[in-house]
């Protein structure tokens, strides 16, 4: 049975922490890598109608072979696009020694055509981290506001057609 939800959340521990989004189906797993998302993506997509997919991935594999990880992420993007859903990617919000590695992932995300990238939080400026990668609840509230703005913009565009 297809669930009634406004958002399908997929990814790693950054997405697991996103519990403040109403009407969500959260399929994130702590420690998940892109290959893990890819393995369960078909069943995840089947559970939530045509809801937009929100993806947060990369924080667990920032130091792995980027070519391999980027290929897996590209396959995730293609599957989501083939399911006729919009895809919203949350950037990897890292600071300190992880910043440079996270920037490589975020640059890759920006190079993907046809997806929405939520702007990287001003988390670094506002110290919204629990550690150098994971976010405080206040950071998720900022992401929620940004997601709602994207949803509202998409709704307005759909009504014009």
Could you report the per-residue pLDDT of 117-139, keeping only the tens digit for each?
Answer: 887 665 445 677 778 777 888 88
Residue 67 has pLDDT above 70, yes or no: yes
Report d(CA 10, CA 53) in Å as an integer: 7
Instruction: Judge whether 2 lies within some domain.
Output: no
Instruction: Judge whether 84 lies within some domain.
Output: yes
Q: What is the pLDDT of residue 159?
A: 63
The residue-averaged pLDDT of 105-111 equals 91
Number of structural domains in the chain = 1
Instruction: Judge whether 94 lies within some domain.
Output: yes
Domain interval for residue 156: 7-160
Read off the CATH number of the domain in which 85 is found: 3.40.50.1110
Residue 17 has pLDDT above 70, yes or no: yes
Q: What is the pLDDT of residue 1?
A: 41
State the average pLDDT for the chain.
81
Q: Where are the beta strands (DSSP E) in 1-159?
A: 7-11, 24-26, 53-56, 87-89, 116-117
Q: pLDDT band for 149, please (50, 70, 90 cuts).
A: confident
Single out the residue of 96, 105, 72, 90 nearest to residue 14, CA to CA: 90
Instruction: Judge whether 1 lies within some domain.
Output: no
Report d(CA 105, CA 54) in Å as an integer: 16
Instruction: Judge whether 52 lies within some domain.
Output: yes
Residue 79 has pLDDT above 90, yes or no: yes
Q: What is the pLDDT of residue 58?
A: 85
Highest mean pLDDT among 7-21, 34-48, 85-99, 110-124 belongs to 34-48
Q: What is the pLDDT of residue 49?
A: 80
């Amino acid at each position: 049975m297809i669930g009634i939800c406004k958002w399908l959340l997929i990814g790693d521990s950054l997405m697991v922490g996103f519990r403040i989004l109403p009407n969500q189906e959260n399929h994130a797993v702590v420690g998940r890598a892109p290959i893990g998302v890819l393995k369960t993506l078909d069943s995840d997509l089947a559970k939530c109608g045509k809801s937009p997919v929100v993806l947060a991935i990369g924080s667990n594999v920032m130091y792995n072979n980027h070519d391999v990880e980027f290929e897996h992420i590209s396959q995730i993007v293609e599957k989501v696009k083939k399911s006729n859903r919009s895809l919203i990617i949350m950037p990897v919000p890292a600071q300190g020694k992880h910043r440079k590695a996270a920037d490589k992932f975020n640059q890759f995300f920006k190079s993907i055509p046809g997806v929405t990238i939520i702007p990287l939080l001003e988390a670094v400026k506002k110290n919204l981290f629990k550690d150098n990668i994971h976010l405080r609840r206040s950071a998720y509230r900022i992401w929620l506001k940004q997601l709602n703005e994207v949803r509202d913009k998409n709704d307005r565009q759909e009504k014009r057609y």
